[in-house]
Chains A and B, each alone.
Chain A
């Protein structure tokens, strides 16, 4: 594997962790978050700052995970107070606020971001292995969650929250838990990204990025781990394959998003199970 391929694969791995983490919130608990990239950013900035202060990688990554999760919980608490319809827009607000605030803070590097983030100290293939390791961990975690009673509860909340409440489920606690877990894992992805690029700017973590992550989950099929992973790989690699029509990349991307929602809203997962059903029946 050449350096370029390793670099690409590392990027894919980080996005898989991100998409899987959003799937926890949106797919499992049914809450549409348009601000997920903010937590990606919180993780990245936490790691950037701490590593420049000399902290070792395992501590900085842990801190990125925790800080993103804690802030995610606070924001989750706040967003629970508003009506369901508002949630998408409030999370969008979070995306803009993150960028808007970070851009103005000197100690966070302002518009220019933070550069000179220390190296992770591993070889490039070694780091790829680390990222893949975390990606696999998050996939396994999601898979376990789905099978557990917490996943069963998430299904109920996503299906019909009022009925779940009347069966004795503490809806707020479950939504908050989904939020905390999803944002913490996104923070981890952010930390891995910081070591990968060694240079971060606020605009990377804005609304557009949040939509990008959401579209990976939507194209994959909200709630389906398998679908989301495949969709992420495809969507991250797609611009690389379509280099030759570089100019039309974004247009194709928009068309893809639209088409999937229009013609196959269950995403890849739905399409796949449709094929399976056709074979059987």
Chain B
């Protein structure tokens, strides 16, 4: 029973990682940049989601506002941060992104205070029993939401013109430009979508833990970076699978190797072991 419970926990956690990591891997695929500040949008989403829900009593509105706001901020980040740095060596964008993230963390602390924000009355906390396992409603909603969002993203990527444009631009920006696909528009869309997803993940995590604090984006951000390497930089499907695997490994790892290794380091231990065996990652990059 413990086995299944751990497995489910792992999937829930992994699906949250997937939502965050997807934006990161798409940005990498497009710009070859490690968008560390992505985590800031996760935190922004959490704060806005909780704040709006507390004000209006509607969780759905909270999620919507969070996603939209984060999407817009994400596009702004592309325009103001990455676009001017595209022809510089990669460490420039990386360090700028880190500086931006630190700034965002601090802004959250100064605006919302260091002690964190909680739901005035946390929704979806009722416990449901599924196949003998006790899960809170929010955990089920989290998984369902993540699956729906990722499925939606995959559908857009595969079946719509916009999605084809994304994939073409990731594969070959110049060629896709020849086909009339505007790479700039694609970039804005990717940043919007990725940031919105991160924000939704933030609200979901806020639901699960009922605490939003300024540094909450740090740990998921680090793990997402490990995940996108495992999944293959730019490879959405690979990232999704790697996220789920990581979630499960963490769930089991904490129990079985928690004596030797801190929980948060498990992601990187897994990453390094995989890379030693297969230097190209679990799946190939695009």
Contacts and interface: CB of A to CB of B under 8 A. Distances in A.
Tell me if chains A and B make direct contact, with any CB pair below 8 A.
yes
B110 interface: yes
B85 interface: yes
A251 B222 contact: no
A80 to B, nearest CB: 9
Nearest to B98: A211
B35 to A, nearest CB: 13
A82 B278 CA distance: 9
Interface stretch (B13-21, B151-159, B167-175, B255-263): B255-263
Given A90-B275, A92-B268, A97-B265, A253 B102 contact: yes
Contacts of B128: none
A251 B103 contact: yes
A100 B100 CA distance: 26
Contact of A207 (B96, B110, B222, B258): B222
Contacts of A258: 81, 96, 99-100, 103
B261 A104 contact: yes
Contact of A214 (B84, B95, B110, B276): B95
Contacts of B272: 78, 90, 93-94, 97
Contact of A100 (B93, B102, B268): B268
Nearest to B234: A85
Given A99-B262, A101-B260, A265 B279 contact: no
A85 B265 CA distance: 21
Contact of A96 (B233, B259, B265): B265
A146 B220 CA distance: 39
Contacts of B281: 86
Contacts of B100: 254, 258
Contacts of A78: 272, 276
Contacts of B102: 250-251, 253-254, 257
Contact of A103 (B34, B84, B99, B262): B262
B92 A261 contact: yes
A262 B84 contact: yes
A251 B90 contact: no
Nearest to A262: B96
B138 interface: no
B264 A100 contact: yes
Contacts of B279: 81-83, 86
Query: Which has the most chain B C-beta neighbours within 10 Å: A88, A215, A218, A258?
Result: A258
Given A32-B91, A32-B94, A261 B275 contact: no
A102 to B, nearest CB: 9
A265 B271 contact: no
Interface in A83-132: 83, 85-86, 88-90, 92-94, 96-97, 99-101, 103-104
B186 interface: no
Size category of the binding interface on chain B: 35 or more
A85 B275 CA distance: 13
A82 B90 CA distance: 17
Interface string B262-286: 1011111101100110011100010
B39 interface: no
Contacts of A26: 91
B216 to A, nearest CB: 15
Contacts of B261: 97, 100-101, 104
A86 B234 CA distance: 13
Contact of A93 (B32, B88, B105, B268): B268
Nearest to B99: A257
B265 A89 contact: no
A233 B99 CA distance: 19
Given A100-B262, A254-B106, A89 B225 contact: yes
Given A101-B262, A262-B84, 12 more contacts: A32-B94, A86-B279, A92-B226, A93-B268, A96-B267, A97-B261, A100-B264, A103-B262, A215-B98, A250-B102, A254-B103, A257-B99
5 contacts: A81-B275, A99-B265, A100-B261, A251-B107, A254-B103
3 closest A-B pairs (Cβ-Cβ)?
Answer: A100-B265, A257-B99, A254-B102
